[in-house]
Structure 1
């Protein structure tokens, strides 16, 4: 197993720890940040999420630079991203930081694109992510990170940056999904 695939697997292995830190009410204390309080366990979970999100860029860059792109990596990388983002968004709904309807739309788009990729793979075609998808991922990661941090550092000025970024991420999620289906509709149309 090559280094990029090991990095991707490490991202997957961080997800249960992230979920535990967000779900179990550890009594590690909390910090007051503006009008908000940030439990230390949520801060640690947010750091884990940020680290895991960063490994998404690192493994892809390393694989392309050193010509280590594999079918296993093509499968694991988007799976790791979807698991990480889905887990974070669902936990943000549970904490009241994200509206459920936004999360449902984002996760539904991910299922739809995954379905299209599966149909394409069955036809022997690999559908790569485009620039719009990368923009979607970046806005999602920023929104989720800030919301996990209870809107820190913007909570000091009472500016809902995390919520605004979530709606921007929603916009790019829908737009990139539309773009992905328009560009690749031939896969569905021409499938056997």
Structure 2
């Protein structure tokens, strides 16, 4: 099963727009199914990386597909948030996160192709965890919002406090900061590029 990691990455790319479409349909059924799809896609990320490392399978296609699939999934989740509440999850913050991740993904792919070792930063790993936890909370709040049950009441109370806006600002700051830290820690990539 040499191609299993690539298959899982491709599956993640396919599931991202499926999640996006289902979540935007609204309602508990569609929303619940969309979060299930999002969870399955997130699990494939763990398994394709685990399988590739365990059996030392890495292909040029895999190097390209894996980070691309991750970003497709993350972007699809961030894109739905302004539809939940544009005041809590402003578009400019979503765009800033997307631009940062596109830049960093391009940089990683370039470094791997040039066989330049990029220094991994703890902040970047923390950023990924923070993003995932935040997205699940925000997606669940959006799922129950306006459904007319006790959970919906609590979801609306939380959204009315404005706390999700501040969490969104925190996530945006950590995301952008981690990119700046990465760039300074890996200046050799830019130096080598200029020398070529």
Q: Under a length normalisation based on structure 1, what TM-score does the superposition of the two structures give?
A: 0.78
Question: Match for residue 88 of structure 1?
Answer: 77
Distance 2:164 2:29 in 1: 19
Q: 1:155 to 1:53 in 2, by over 3 A?
A: farther
**Greater helix share, 1 or 2?**
2
Question: Match for residue 177 of structure 2?
Answer: 175
Query: How many correspondences in the alignment?
Result: 180
Matched-pair contact (CA < 8 Å) for 2:100–2:175: yes
1:134-165 deviation per Cα after TM superposition (whole angstroms, max 9, x unaligned): 22112111111221111677963844575555
Distance 2:4 2:164 in 1: 33
Give the counterpart of 2:191 among 178, 189, 192.
Answer: 189
Aligned pairs for 1:30-179 within 5 A: 30=27, 39-96=28-85, 98-121=89-112, 123-125=114-116, 127=118, 129-150=120-141, 156=154, 158-159=157-158, 163=165, 165-179=167-181
Q: SS of the counterpart of 1:149? A: helix
Matched-pair contact (CA < 8 Å) for 1:43–1:148: no
Instruction: Provide the alpha-carbon RMSD of the alignment.
Output: 2.7
Please identify, of 178-187 and 62-71, the stretch whose mean Cα deviation from structure 2 is larger: 62-71
Q: CA deviation at 1:181?
A: 0.5
Question: Match for residue 24 of structure 2?
Answer: 23
Q: SS of the counterpart of 1:150? A: helix
Q: 1:143 to 1:163 in 2, by over 3 A?
A: farther
Please identify, of 80-89 and 152-161, the stretch whose mean Cα deviation from structure 2 is larger: 152-161
Distance 1:107 1:24 in 2: 23
**Greater strand share, 1 or 2?**
1
Q: SS of the counterpart of 1:40? A: helix
Q: SS of the counterpart of 2:141? A: coil
